[in-house]
Each structure stands twice: as C-alpha cells, then as structure tokens.
C-alpha cells in the first residue's frame, strides 16, 4: 500500500513562479527523489508518492503550510492504494493509489474544497473527508505567521517551544500565540486520527 498526492497551486499565474517553485521543490525533495518520487509539471501541478500512507496527511499539511507561508494556497488529493508499475518518472507509474488520487483531484474544484482523501473504501473516505473539511475551516485561513509556525514545528518536532521561537526569531509567548492562532494541536489530532485509521485500512 502506498499513497499519491496530486496537487495544483491555486492562482499560480498571479504570482511569479520564482516566488514559490524552488521552495516547493526543496520541500518535495525532502520526501524523495525527482522524478521517480515527485514531479512538478504543467508549471503549477505536482505529484508526490508518500511511501508510508500513514504520513501522507502530515506531508499534505506541510505542503499547504509552505504555500500559505508564501501567501498562496494549494489543492491536493491524497490517493491510497497499490502501485502496480514503477516508471522512471512518477507520471509513468500506475496503480489504484494513482487512480484514486487522480479521480478525487478532478473533483476538488467542483466540491469547493482544497484537500481530500480517496482510498476506495467508502466508510473511511466519508469519515476522513468530513474531518478534513472541518480542519480546512482552520487551515484555509492560516495567515503567513501561522503557516510559518506550522511548517517549522512539523519539521522540528523534537524542539521545545523556546527552541522553535529561536528558529522563528520570536519569544516564547509569541510562539504560544502562533500555536493557538494556527489551532496547531487540533490539526495534529486530526493527523493522528488519520494515521490510526490508516492502520485499519485494507485496500
């Protein structure tokens, strides 16, 4: 079982690509190699394989936080399933994870949402997508400082609030405020719920 994130940058043509593309590439590179594990194509769309599906939502949250920290946003579909063929490029690979991701990605605009999951298992998908819609009422409204806090904290989970503050060049009280404003603990609870549910999933 694997997971595929298919995404596109919202209103990318309104922002010069140099403002975001290298930062997105750098983040994607921390999850795997280009082009076997990830690719950016058509200028503003991307695909990424997260080999452990339990980590896929957290990865999607990181990507969203990065774009929100740049005052941008992203639509993403997480597909969970198998991988039947591995190509030289991720765009040449296939399996149910790719199909599920692609199918849901095509419906994102119509559903007026920015993040969805599709495992092909109705009960799991219905429950998780309801939770994601609720979580998105927070994440879609992250401001730049909240998003910077989120991605810094996810990337440095072993650090204390004081150490996170040093990375962000703010004091501990400001860290607490940003944590609260981002509803970070609640978003991490949603991620933990997702990861636990994935363990029970057979696709």
Q: Can you identify the CATH homologous superfamily of domain 2-202?
A: Reverse transcriptase/Diguanylate cyclase domain (3.30.70.270)
pTM above 0.85, yes or no: yes
pLDDT in tens, the chain (203 residues): 999 999 999 999 888 898 899 999 999 999 999 999 999 998 899 999 999 999 999 999 999 999 999 999 999 999 999 999 999 999 999 999 999 999 999 999 899 999 999 999 999 999 999 999 999 999 999 999 999 999 999 999 999 999 999 999 999 999 999 999 999 999 999 999 999 999 998 76
112's CB contacts (< 8 A; 6+ apart) are: none
Both tokens assigned to 2: 């694997």
Element (H, E) at 73: strand 73-81
């Amino acid at each position: 079982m694997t997971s595929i994130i298919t995404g596109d940058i919202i209103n990318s043509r309104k922002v010069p690509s140099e403002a975001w593309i290298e930062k997105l590439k750098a983040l994607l590179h921390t999850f795997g190699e280009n082009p076997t594990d990830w690719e950016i194509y058509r200028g503003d769309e991307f695909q990424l394989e997260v080999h452990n599906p339990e980590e896929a939502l957290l990865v999607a949250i990181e990507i969203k936080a990065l774009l929100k920290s740049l005052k941008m946003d992203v639509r993403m579909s997480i597909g969970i399933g198998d991988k039947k063929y591995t190509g030289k490029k991720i765009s040449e690979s296939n399996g149910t994870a790719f199909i599920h991701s692609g199918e849901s990605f095509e419906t994102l605009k119509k559903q007026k949402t920015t993040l969805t999951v599709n495992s092909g298992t109705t009960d799991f998908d219905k429950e998780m997508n309801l939770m994601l819609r609720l979580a998105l009422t927070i994440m879609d409204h992250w401001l730049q400082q909240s998003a910077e806090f989120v991605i810094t904290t996810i990337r440095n989970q072993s650090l204390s609030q004081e150490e996170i503050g040093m990375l962000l060049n703010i004091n501990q009280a400001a860290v607490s405020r940003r944590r609260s404003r981002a509803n970070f603990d609640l978003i991490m609870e949603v991620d933990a719920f997702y990861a636990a549910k994935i363990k029970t999933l057979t696709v």
